[in-house]
């Protein structure tokens, strides 16, 4: 079984389509780690397309803010503007779908889905200490998280936590992580719609259970077409510029 891991789509349909094209024929089931909407110009079409692919979707902080489950007062002004614009673009049906997305951690398809951290769905996991806090208690080999928009992750074995170098080089489509016996993993497939790890290509992962491999993919997409739609929608400029930088 090959499981497609989608995260932080952020209403970027062009990036989402590029991911689905690159992954075509390579997966049997799909899951999503949240932040379906927010920042990007295509919240309705991305939400509708995701629903045709999987129902194993957990919520991210942007989904919560747009659905009105959490206030966007803590968001920076640019993110807050995007939340308000996104609300204006969604039908009552899509708003209600967003508002019923469950929080992580959630078990689905043999893995654990997390948006931020095991211990707090809104926490950004950047350090081994943060990863360790959740992995210590986890009984599952593979847990996946998003939120940071950084592709990568951690392995845990005999009380040792290790940061894994997982990102493919610029000309490579993917890099493969070979899963070791008796290890536990906390892995981030990266962001589809707004990568922030310095590589502007859309990121995703595929977990291959039969071969005990997780593939970390990057796929180029037409960034300028997304930027044009963002200008037309009057979305804030910093959000438009950062797509080309991957920051």
Task: Give dist(CA 45, CA 47) in Å, integer.
Answer: 5
**Cβ(197)–Cβ(246) below 8 Å:** yes
Does residue 197 touch Zn ion according to CB under 5 A? no
Q: 8 vs 17, which CB is nearer to Zn ion? A: 8
Angle at 166 between CA 178 and CA 75, to 5 degrees: 130
Site string for Zn ion, 22-41 (x = CB under 5 A): -------------x------
Q: 75 vs 209, which CB is nearer to Zn ion? A: 75
Task: Give dist(CA 158, CA 34) in Å, integer.
Answer: 31
- Structural element, H or E, at residue 99: helix 92-99
| Residue 190 Cα distances to 8, 73, 218, angstroms | 8, 26, 9
Task: Give dist(CA 233, CA 199) in Å, integer.
Answer: 25
Which residue in 3, 4, 5, 8 binds Zn ion (CB under 5 A)?
Answer: 8
Least distance to Zn ion, CB of residue 34, Å? 7
Q: 8 vs 42, which CB is nearer to Zn ion? A: 8
Q: 79 vs 112, which CB is nearer to Zn ion? A: 79
Q: 122 vs 208, which CB is nearer to Zn ion? A: 122
| DSSP label of 187 | E
How many residues touch Zn ion under the rule CB under 5 A: the total is 2
Least distance to Zn ion, CB of residue 180, Å? 29
Which residues would be at the binding site for Zn ion (CB under 5 A)?
8, 35
């Amino acid at each position: 079984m090959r499981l497609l891991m989608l995260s932080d789509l952020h209403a970027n349909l062009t990036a989402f389509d590029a991911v689905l094209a690159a992954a075509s024929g390579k997966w049997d089931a799909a899951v999503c780690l949240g932040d379906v909407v927010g920042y990007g110009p295509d919240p309705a079409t991305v939400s509708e397309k995701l629903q045709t692919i999987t129902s194993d979707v957990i919520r991210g902080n942007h989904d919560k803010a747009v659905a009105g489950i959490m206030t966007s007062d803590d968001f920076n002004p640019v993110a807050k503007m995007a939340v308000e614009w996104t609300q204006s673009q969604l039908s009552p049906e899509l708003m209600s779908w967003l508002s019923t997305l469950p929080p992580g951690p959630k078990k689905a398809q043999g893995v654990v889905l997390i948006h931020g951290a095991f211990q707090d769905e809104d926490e950004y996991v950047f350090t081994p200490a943060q990863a360790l806090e959740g992995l210590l208690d986890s009984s599952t080999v593979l847990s996946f998280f998003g939120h940071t928009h950084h592709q990568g992750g951690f392995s845990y074995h005999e009380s040792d936590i290790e940061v894994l170098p997982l990102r493919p080089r610029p000309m490579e489509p993917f890099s493969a992580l070979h899963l070791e016996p008796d290890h536990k993993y906390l892995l981030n497939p990266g962001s589809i719609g707004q990568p922030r790890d310095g590589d502007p290509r859309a990121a995703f992962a595929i977990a291959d259970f039969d071969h005990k491999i997780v593939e970390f993919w990057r796929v180029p997409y037409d960034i300028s077409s997304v930027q044009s739609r963002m200008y037309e929608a009057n979305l804030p400029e910093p959000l438009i510029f950062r797509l080309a930088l991957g920051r």
